[in-house]
Structure 1
């Protein structure tokens, strides 16, 4: 018959073990101990680096095409992937494909065209923003003056989003439809957007504060106490000019060279 054994955990005191360990460490060469601590520190730093730096870069491999309706996103999507004209219609869901950047590294990104309709664009942006390596914000340069307020509001939402601000993807503002005579230049568009965003920042902050005494969960745009400039943002912002459509019609070539150079630097 098995004999019942009662164990008294006090018999297994850790004090003698700790005293012995301390004595052994004291007897070791200080140089040897320093080497051990340095080795442990290197291992810990390496693990953190691999987890947060390399891991973050590999997961954020998407390039998002966003913008208002009829800005030319879907045709630009086709030009970047196929290099040719393709008839398009208003998108109600996302389209995605592998895009190979024109650089020596042969880098590949997942190019995702998001719907531009007002009722859809924010929910699709919310779905894909966490994986964005870069965001291409497409603007219709020909009617920019008419849409400047709507463009600024969408851009404001994007730039003050907490996830986007934390991940800091490259933002490329693609001033599309430069083949049209009345198209505004990228420089002029940048200047007007900075002014409009500066105004929006004041009105939005005032509205949120008056509601509950706080500024809400979004990130403050730019630097407090200074007029807004894109250079104040945590992410790199570029303005480029492009034409998804050719002035010669469907058979002509578009001009996406500046945009492709930006994507090649990601």
Structure 2
């Protein structure tokens, strides 16, 4: 038996031959039906399968999604375009969702998918319903210039987003972004 093993070592190379020798030794031990060794092998296989399964599940979750939500004309689409291109562009009212991969400027090469949802009252809840389960972050965009006029609508929509049952199970990160800070607001009193 030793000569057969040494022939395998010589023909198969040092690493492959050593592995084959180890497998042959393991097979021989298993034939002897040692319950201790058998339980160790089963435990090792279970741990390896668990690690492979965990790696698979984790890789599926690793796609980070940030969803931009807010009222109509709060500046979600402009924020979306500025994050992706760094440029100011004229935008139009969205009637459907937009998504793109955003690469974070760090040395890890992190990226996430930005999703811009329409803010029109008749559309925003149905789009939020579609994307809320997969959101790892929610950015609630508020128009600072029109906040006093829209405070009731902003509060109602924010309440719906925060207390959503699936959102609470998913526990996404949450950010309230106050947009249009540079807009000059005029009051009715010109004294």
TM-score higher than 0.5 here?
yes
Larger Rg: 2
Counterpart pick for 2:34 among 28, 38, 41: 28
- Give distance in 1, aligned partners of 2:161 and 2:56: 27
Which of 129, 136, 153 aligns to 1:150? It is: 153
RMSD between aligned residues? 2.6
SS of 2:92's partner is coil
1:128 to 128, 131, 137: 131
1:84 to 82, 87, 109: 87
| Runs of 5+ unmatched residues, structure 2 | 1-29, 186-191
Q: Give TM-score scaled by structure 2 length.
A: 0.69
Stretches of structure 1 lacking an aligned partner (at least 5 in a row): 1-23, 183-266
Distance of 2:53 and 2:92 partners within structure 1: 46
Among candidates 147, 161, 177, match of residue 174 of structure 1: 177
Q: Deviations over 1:77-119 (max 9, x none)?
A: 1211121221122211122222221221222222221110010
TM-score calculated relative to the size of structure 1: 0.51
Counterpart among 107, 114, 117 of residue 117 in structure 2: 114
Partner secondary structure for residue 142 of structure 1: coil
Residues 1:138 and 2:128 are matched in the alignment:
no
- Secondary structure of 2:146 counterpart: helix
1:45 aligns with 50
- After TM superposition, the runs of 4+ consecutive aligned structure 1 residues lying more than 3 A away are 24-27
* Partners of 2:88 and 2:33 in 1: CA distance: 77
Matched, 1:67 2:73: no
Give the SS at the match of 2:69. strand
